[in-house]
A and B are shown apart, each in its own frame.
Chain A
Amino acid sequence: MSPPPPLSKLYSDDVSLIVLLLDTNPYFWTAASNPSSPLSFSTFLSNVLSFLNSILLLNQLNQIVVIATGYNSCGYVYDSSLSSLSKMTQSSGNGVLPGFCEELLGNLEGFLEKDEKLSSEESVDGVPASVLSGSLSMALCYIQHIFRSGPLHPQPRILCLHGSPDGPEQYVSVMNAIFSAQRSMVPIDACIIGSQHSAFLQQASYITGGVYLKPPLLEGLFQYLSTVFAIDLHSRNFLQLPKPVGVDFRASCFCHKNTIDMGYICSVCLSIFCKHQKECTTCGSVFGQSQAASVSDRKRKDPQE
């Protein structure tokens, strides 16, 4: 092997690391694979694989990491820095796919099998949420490792290919991940492949400075991906990318889950209520009295109601 070229000359501004969060929620994909819908899982995967290949072509130092967001779990599926050079340049058996696809698809299949085994027996109505908070947290841990690896590192960003609806129980964790990404200056891009907008990902892209897109024609997904999301962060200053369309930052009240314009906030636990109340249902503080310092006080107040 010839000695590697000096890295400082190769690490220009446009080297990027993309962490792709792939939504593999089986409930979403079964609902999406009816004949009237444009995108089935296999066509989706072929679009994504071509997109990943084009990213690797843009710069030889670009890296990709793919994390699958399943229904019960999430896990790393592929890391381009771990594949050997020879494996990536070889093509697979029939000469159609680039070499890395075989590894990615193999890992993805293994992940989906494990995810299915973790399901409990209960039946599910509609399309439930996937574990977006878990995959965002894992992506951010990986990116922190990249930041620590030395002065020469690719510019990381997160791209979320998401279709499942938002799970309200994940709100706090997703917001924690978003604020952490904002502090580390990691943009979170989102491409929605489902039918509804995702409020979590709209807020994520707005707060972290990423791009949010819901393609109107899903048959051309590869074109949207390669024109909007393939460009490195430095070149984004020179491009006209889709602008955020009216992100709704209003809160929902804890009692009825309606979005409200004006509400009342408990000064102790910051819960939001739409009407004036005597007591906070979350922390138990009685309003107008001095704040309890421990939980035992709260238990003492309850029998008096």
Chain B
Amino acid sequence: MYGIEHREVSNSRGKRPHEEPEDEDDEEENERGKEAWERTYADERSWESLQEDESGLLRPIDDKALHHAHYRRRLRSISSAETAARIQKGLIRYLYIVIDFSKAAAEMDYRPSRMAVVAKHVEAFIREFFDQNPLSQIGIVIIKGGIAHCLTELGGSPESHIKALTSKLECSGDASLQNALELIDSFLNQIPSYGHREALILYSALSTCDPGDIMETIKKCKSSKIRCSIIGLSAEMFICKHICQETGGSYSVALDESHLKELMLDPAPPPPAIADYAISNLIKMGFPQRSAEGVIAICSCHKEAKVGGYSCPRCKARICDLPTECRICGLTLVSSPHLARSYHHLFPITPFNEVAASQRSRQRVPQTCFGCQQSLLNPGSISSLCVTCPKCQRYFCLDCDIYIHESLHNCPGCESVRNSKSVRG
């Protein structure tokens, strides 16, 4: 009875009273819809996040401070491992994304279906990956009907991968981890020795149908120095955990869509390099100049006559876009901004220190944030609302802190002082 009343309430919101024949269809939809929103309330329990102060009145939830605390925890866990030993990072990466398109991907627990959500997040990941690692390459492998096959080969252009991925989204059959790993192993053995070999597997199924012994395959991957990370969409599986432990990757299972989004963006920045996994080498690269404006030539990538573009310094072939590999002579062609995109991984800025409310009066905190000139004083809030750079002693607000560490990678305080320039190479 309670359920029927709710159905009527949700129907009446948008419906006119005389639309009777559509009632049955609406009822079916609302059957499923009721489960989804009821499930949301059952899972989230938003009433539990309200807080009371001493006199029993509801306190407004300090979202900003919670968000910032969560962000700081992440930052601390990342930077404590790295800055302690100044671990080098693998900047030239060859990553294979393995997407599970078995029948488990048609599940509707992610709206509209698992594979649509996965495709959307993979697209965002690819863009973010090429933004942070312009010299790296990605390939996509699909598991469908028990067989793994290659959707796109290793390449450096995000558009071709995204186009291939979104053009056909269909799923069937079983998933096979061993076939996927065998395929990746055969492809990644062909890449140069200075590249870091990685695989990111998005696994929705709860089982794997393998033609042979998957432990042998895992040993093979480990000796080929491929680092496999897995993101599970349904539940934790032993075999996935074993693969990640053996190869040095990370295994995580997504709880909901926003968690999946967060997990998908985690592998985008370069991971710390495992010792002996890649041989350091000098790679010959070319820095092409733009061709003269108005000169038409046939480009070597599309075989069409085009205006503008770049010319390879070794063989003078015309190419449209950078970074790429020259089709004629095989020289890797980049421009200096592509190299500069990776420099912030090599020269990270130190995390800022929180200023507790009790220290504020002692340290003589200024009135405004140094970066955005917004007021740092917020009466009535207990949590600390500013951070300070350990090097230049300037004070910043929480939003500037997040922006500086996630996007800008420059401390405005350190940059505005001439003498601290010697820190950067």
Contacts and interface: CB of A to CB of B under 8 A. Distances in A.
B357 interface: no
B125 to A, nearest CB: 16
Interface string B390-412: 00000000011001100111111
Interface in A162-180: 167, 169-173, 175-180
A269 interface: yes
Interface string A257-274: 000111111111110110
B275 A290 contact: yes
Decide if the interface of chain A is mainly helix, strand, loop or mixed: mixed
B347 interface: yes
Given A73-B416, A176-B409, A291-B275, A141 B403 contact: yes
B418 A131 contact: yes
A293 B415 contact: no
A173 B372 contact: no
Interface stretch (B86-94, B108-116, B206-214): B86-94
A270 B417 CA distance: 27
B338 to A, nearest CB: 9
Contact of A293 (B274, B286, B403, B412): B274
Contacts of A233: none
Nearest to B402: A144
A290 B276 contact: yes
A295 B416 contact: no
A293 B277 CA distance: 10
Interface in A65-82: 71-76, 79
Interface stretch (A32-40, A54-62, A241-249): A241-249
B51 interface: no
B412 A291 contact: no
B415 A137 contact: yes
Interface string B334-372: 011101111110110000000000000000000001111
B285 interface: yes
A117 interface: no
Interface in B95-121: none
Contacts of A141: 369, 371-372, 400, 403-404, 408, 412
A264 B204 CA distance: 43
A262 B280 contact: no
Nearest to B413: A134
B225 to A, nearest CB: 10
Contacts, number: 211
B373 interface: yes
Nearest to A270: B339
B410 A133 contact: yes
With most chain B CB atoms within 10 A of its CB, the pick from A138, A248, A292 is: A138
A176 B410 contact: yes
B284 A76 contact: no
B295 to A, nearest CB: 12
A145 B370 CA distance: 12
Given A133-B410, A293-B275, A179 B341 contact: yes
Contacts of B284: 262-265
Nearest to A115: B418
A187 B23 CA distance: 53
Interface residues of A, number: 71
Contacts of B416: 73-75, 131, 134-135, 137-138
A150 B109 CA distance: 33
A267 B91 contact: yes
A142 interface: yes
A199 B139 CA distance: 35
A287 B283 CA distance: 10
B194 A249 contact: no
B331 interface: yes
B46 interface: no
B92 A267 contact: yes
Nearest to A199: B336
B70 interface: no
A52 B399 CA distance: 29
A249 B274 CA distance: 33
A293 to B, nearest CB: 4
Given A141-B372, A144-B403, A291-B276, A251 B415 contact: no
A285 B285 CA distance: 19
Contacts of B372: 141-142, 144-145
A256 interface: no
Nearest to A278: B282
Given A138-B371, A270-B91, A203 B275 contact: no
A79 B417 CA distance: 22
Contacts of A22: none
Contact of B371 (A137, A246, A250, A280): A137
A171 B336 CA distance: 11
B32 to A, nearest CB: 33
B4 interface: no
A171 B285 contact: no
Nearest to A252: B336
Contact of B91 (A75, A142, A268, A280): A268
A289 interface: yes
Given A141-B400, A292-B275, 10 more contacts: A131-B418, A141-B372, A142-B372, A170-B421, A180-B409, A184-B407, A262-B286, A267-B195, A269-B91, A270-B343
Interface of B: 85-88, 91-92, 131, 135, 194-195, 273-290, 293, 313-314, 331, 335-337, 339-344, 346-347, 369-374, 399-400, 403-404, 407-412, 415-418, 421-422, 424-425
Interface of A: 71-76, 79, 118, 131, 133-135, 137-138, 140-142, 144-145, 148, 167, 169-173, 175-180, 183-184, 203, 207, 246-251, 260-270, 272-273, 276-277, 280, 282-283, 285-295
16 contacts: A131-B416, A137-B371, A138-B416, A142-B373, A144-B399, A176-B408, A179-B341, A249-B287, A249-B289, A261-B288, A261-B313, A263-B285, A280-B282, A291-B278, A292-B275, A295-B85
